[in-house]
Structure 1
Amino acid sequence: MGVLRPSYQAGTWFPGTAAELRAEVDSLLESAETFPGTVKAIAVPHAAFVYSGSTAAVGYKQMQALQRRVKRVLLLAPWHQEGFGLLLPPEEFTAFGTPIVLRALLSTGLYDTVAAAAEKDEHSIALQIPFLKTVLPEGTLLVPVYVGRLFKEDLSMYAETLVPFFMDPDTVFVISTDWSHWGPRSNYSYLPENVDKSLPLYKKIQALDREAIDCVVNLNGSCLEEHVAKTHNRICGYDALLLFLRLLERVAESSGQRAEDLFSASLLAYSQSSPIRSASENAVGYAAIGFYSAEEMNK
């Protein structure tokens, strides 16, 4: 018998009691805008609720409409520590407060398991659980995957292990990622060369993020790679995003098509931790993105 993973972020990253947490999530979802279309996947941020909760809620509001149609969610989240490949939570943690299934991935021999002592400091999955437990039916299975650094030549191999999950109509995907980490705290100060110099600093950083987000919305992994190679944009879910985009390509290739023929994506919300105006300040970018089948969006 395993144990429930302790909620290490409770009381700091989000409210510390179950009642307060549920009230906060309900309030965020109530205020979130609804968009047309049925999502197959969402990309959402994982900062403290006070910073990114409202943006994450927009993504989850679209998933809330699925209700009883979802039986499983596969969560791709960055591993913020040193590590390569795809990693699974400690075997002794049977749940993040929801049923967890790892056997199918472990059987591939391509996934490592992280130690509990290291995992307790990771927040990229934990910050998604309150939303998932609110918007999806009780008993929905969780497949949590930490994404470490990935070599480009391994993307297809790892994507192949996710194809059966994606092809299941009762499974949805969540990609956990923040965007730019700008300022002295992150030792990062790049700005786009073609940005209007008269804009306030936070608007220039938005333009930087929009370059990367446009790559993802256009389902173009090569574009995202080129953006990061040029700008070194500190997108913590970069590898998770590349893996998901490669998964879409792999699914499309199996029917002789391109990803953009079968799927579409849309930016639902964008925000920053602070509208900074000075290079001595810090800011993190957050976005909610919805991924859909092209057929669904053409209805």
Structure 2
Amino acid sequence: MTVRPPAVAGSFYPADPDQLRAQVDDLLDHAPGAGSHRAVVAPHAGYVYSGSTAAVAYHALRWDDVAQVAILGPTHRVPVRGIAAPQSTTWRTPLGDVAVTIPDAVAALPHVVRDERVHAPEHSLEVHVPFVQRLRPHATVTPLAVGRADEHEVAGVLDVLLADPATAVIISSDLSHYLPYADARRLDDQTLAQVTGLDGTITHEQACGATPVNGLMEHARRHGLALRTLASCSSGDTAGDRSRVVGYATLVLEDRP
């Protein structure tokens, strides 16, 4: 067994297990809704900034019978061609250890590689794991760091993952970065309209997780599904000033109305 230790405990979320448990539970308690969705888009900033929006996404998921939670997020620190699965078999957070599973059908895809260097410092996947541990403590996680890939390659992974009814998927992405509050709101509204309209592809100026989001859009187009926005805000609405904000949103994958 090889263990990946937490990289951002104490910065993005509390390192103390009691404080972390209390914060996660409080965010979930204040999030609306009970879900029936199998795939969501959720932000990955520090919990004080985006945790309330992310909690909406976790409540939107259907947790009954979920045995595996796949998390696809962008690489911020270490570049990689394709989509990187970890070599570690266990991920550790202050709440304990969770087993990693990489389905054989995912590992066999030509654009999926094994690279622990990509995962070691990356926060975009890690920040979701404590919520999974509280909501579905016996589930395994499938962390996939999306590097230089196109929407068809990401959609191919999602096609495999979502063919398994026991798998839930979290697409990890924030929206615009470091714009004044009003400018960020305008750009983020445009981005969300484009994503929910399944209109082409978005750029990394619109969302740091543009590549996995584009893959989800392509998956939706292939299968006649829709994307819908449940919540959106920015750091200017939560714990930051409004001169340079980061945008956040929760979206769900669902049947067309």
Task: Please state if 1:238 is matched with 2:237.
Answer: no
Paired residues of 1:40 and 1:293 also in contact (CA < 8 A): no
Query: Over residues 10-62 of structure 1, what are the superposed CA-to-partner deviations in whole Å (9 max), with x where a residue is unaligned?
Result: 11211112221111100001111216x51121111111111111111111122
Q: Which residue in the other structure is 2:82 paired with? A: 85
Query: Over residues 136-160 of structure 1, what are the superposed CA-to-partner deviations in whole Å (9 max), with x where a residue is unaligned?
Result: 2x32122111111224xxx334423
| Separation (CA, whole Å) in 2 of partners of 1:167 and 1:83 | 26
Query: In the TM superposition, what is the alpha-carbon distance from 1:264 to its structure 2 partner?
Result: 2.6
Q: Which residue in the other structure is 2:145 paired with? A: 146
Paired residues of 2:84 and 2:112 also in contact (CA < 8 A): yes
Query: In the TM superposition, what is the alpha-carbon distance from 1:102 to its structure 2 partner?
Result: 1.5
Q: Which residue in the other structure is 1:218 paired with? A: 197
Q: Which residue in the other structure is 2:32 paired with? A: 33
Q: Which residues of structure 1 form unaligned runs of 5+?
A: 184-200, 253-258
Counterpart mapping for 1:241-280 below 5 A:
241-250=213-222, 252=223, 259=224, 263-274=225-236
Letter in 2 for 1:24: Q
| Separation (CA, whole Å) in 1 of partners of 2:154 and 2:233 | 31
Paired residues of 1:87 and 1:147 also in contact (CA < 8 A): yes
Counterpart mapping for 1:197-212 below 5 A:
201-212=180-191
Report the secondary structure of 2:124's partner residue.
Answer: coil
Paired residues of 1:61 and 1:135 also in contact (CA < 8 A): no
Q: Which has the larger radius of gyration?
A: 1
| Separation (CA, whole Å) in 2 of partners of 1:8 and 1:277 | 26
Q: Which residue in the other structure is 2:134 paired with? A: 134
Query: In the TM superposition, what is the alpha-carbon distance from 1:244 to its structure 2 partner?
Result: 1.5
- Judged with a 3 Å threshold, the aligned counterparts in structure 2 of structure 1 residues 70 and 103 are, in CA distance, closer, same or farther, namely closer
Residue among 69, 73, 81 paired with 1:73: 69
Paired residues of 1:43 and 1:289 also in contact (CA < 8 A): yes
Report the secondary structure of 1:67's partner residue.
Answer: coil
| Separation (CA, whole Å) in 2 of partners of 1:103 and 1:73 | 11
Letter in 1 for 2:15: G
| Separation (CA, whole Å) in 2 of partners of 1:95 and 1:291 | 27
- Judged with a 3 Å threshold, the aligned counterparts in structure 2 of structure 1 residues 277 and 174 are, in CA distance, closer, same or farther, namely closer
Query: In the TM superposition, what is the alpha-carbon distance from 1:234 to its structure 2 partner?
Result: 4.3
Residue among 167, 182, 188 paired with 1:171: 167
Q: Which residue in the other structure is 1:256 paired with? A: none
Q: Which residue in the other structure is 1:60 paired with? A: 58
| Separation (CA, whole Å) in 2 of partners of 1:170 and 1:144 | 16
Report the secondary structure of 1:209's partner residue.
Answer: helix
Count matched residues: 249
Query: In the TM superposition, what is the alpha-carbon distance from 1:9 to its structure 2 partner?
Result: 1.2
Paired residues of 2:154 and 2:216 also in contact (CA < 8 A): no
- Judged with a 3 Å threshold, the aligned counterparts in structure 2 of structure 1 residues 242 and 282 are, in CA distance, closer, same or farther, namely same
**Higher strand content, 1 or 2:** 2
Task: Please state if 1:286 is matched with 2:248.
Answer: yes
| Separation (CA, whole Å) in 2 of partners of 1:60 and 1:103 | 22
| Separation (CA, whole Å) in 2 of partners of 1:168 and 1:9 | 31
Paired residues of 1:73 and 1:141 also in contact (CA < 8 A): yes
- Judged with a 3 Å threshold, the aligned counterparts in structure 2 of structure 1 residues 277 and 26 are, in CA distance, closer, same or farther, namely closer
| Separation (CA, whole Å) in 2 of partners of 1:88 and 1:75 | 10
- Judged with a 3 Å threshold, the aligned counterparts in structure 2 of structure 1 residues 83 and 38 are, in CA distance, closer, same or farther, namely same
